[in-house]
Structure 1
Amino acid sequence: MPEGHTLHRLARLHQRRFGRSPVVVSSPQGRFVDGAADVSGRVLRKSDAWGKHLFHHYDGGRVVHIHLGLYGTFTEAAVPLPLPVGQVRMRMVGAEYGTDLRGPTVCEVIGEPEIADVVAKLGPDPLRGDADPEVAWKRIAKSRRSIGALLMDQSVIAGVGNVYRSELLFRHRMDPYRLGVHLGQDEFADMWTDLVALMKVGVRRGKIVVVRPEHDHGAPSYGPGRPRTYVYRRAGDACRVCGTSVRTAELEGRNLFWCPACQR
Structure 2
Amino acid sequence: MPEGPEIRRAADALSDAIAGLSIDHVRLPYHRLRPFGPRFRGQRITTFRTHGKALLTNFDNGWTIYSHNQLYGLWQVARPNDPLLPGRALRLELGHQDRCIRLYSATDISLWRTQNVAQHPFLSRLGPDILDPILTPETLVARLQSTRFQNQSLGKLYLDQRFLAGVGNYLRSEILFRAGVNGLCKPNQLNLKRLVRLARQTL
TM over 0.5: yes
The aligned counterpart of 1:259 is none
The aligned counterpart of 2:176 is 169
Confirm or deny: 8 A CA contact 1:25 1:92 kept in the other structure. Answer: yes
Residue-by-residue CA offset, 1:45-96 (whole Å, 9 max, x unaligned): 1111111111111011100111111111113223433367542111122233
- Partners of 2:96 and 2:159 in 1: CA distance: 36
Gaps of 5+ in 1: 197-264
The aligned counterpart of 1:229 is none
The aligned counterpart of 2:69 is 68
Q: Would the alpha carbon gap of residues 138 and 20 (structure 1) be closer, same or farther in structure 2, given more than 3 Å must change?
A: same
- The offset of 1:16, in angstroms, is 1.1
Residue-by-residue CA offset, 1:114-166 (whole Å, 9 max, x unaligned): 23324442212221222255454333222311011111111111111100101
- Partners of 1:183 and 1:103 in 2: CA distance: 42
Confirm or deny: 8 A CA contact 1:74 1:99 kept in the other structure. Answer: yes
Query: Tell me, what secondary structure is at the counterpart of 1:153?
Result: coil
Check if 1:2 corresponds to 2:2: yes
Bigger Rg over Cα:
1
Residue-by-residue CA offset, 1:8-47 (whole Å, 9 max, x unaligned): 1111111111111112332134442124443233111111
- The offset of 1:191, in angstroms, is 2.6
2:142 to 134, 138, 147: 138
Q: Would the alpha carbon gap of residues 153 and 91 (structure 1) be closer, same or farther in structure 2, given more than 3 Å must change?
A: same
Query: Tell me, what secondary structure is at the counterpart of 1:92?
Result: strand
Q: TM-score, normalised by structure 2?
A: 0.85
**Higher RCO, Cα 8 Å, sep 6+:** 2
Q: TM-score, normalised by structure 1?
A: 0.67
Report percent identity of matched pairs.
Answer: 26
Residue-by-residue CA offset, 1:168-197 (whole Å, 9 max, x unaligned): 11222211111122233432332332233x
Check if 1:192 corresponds to 2:199: yes
C-alpha RMSD of the superposition: 2.2
Which residue identity does 1:94 align to in structure 2?
H
Which residue identity does 2:110 align to in structure 1?
E
Q: Would the alpha carbon gap of residues 38 and 132 (structure 1) be closer, same or farther in structure 2, given more than 3 Å must change?
A: farther
- Alignment map for 1:50-89 (pairs within 5 Å): 50-82=51-83, 86-89=88-91
The aligned counterpart of 1:19 is 19
- Partners of 2:56 and 2:118 in 1: CA distance: 12
More off after superposition, 112-121 vs 46-55: 112-121
More off after superposition, 53-62 vs 119-128: 119-128
Gaps of 5+ in 2: none
Equivalences, count: 196
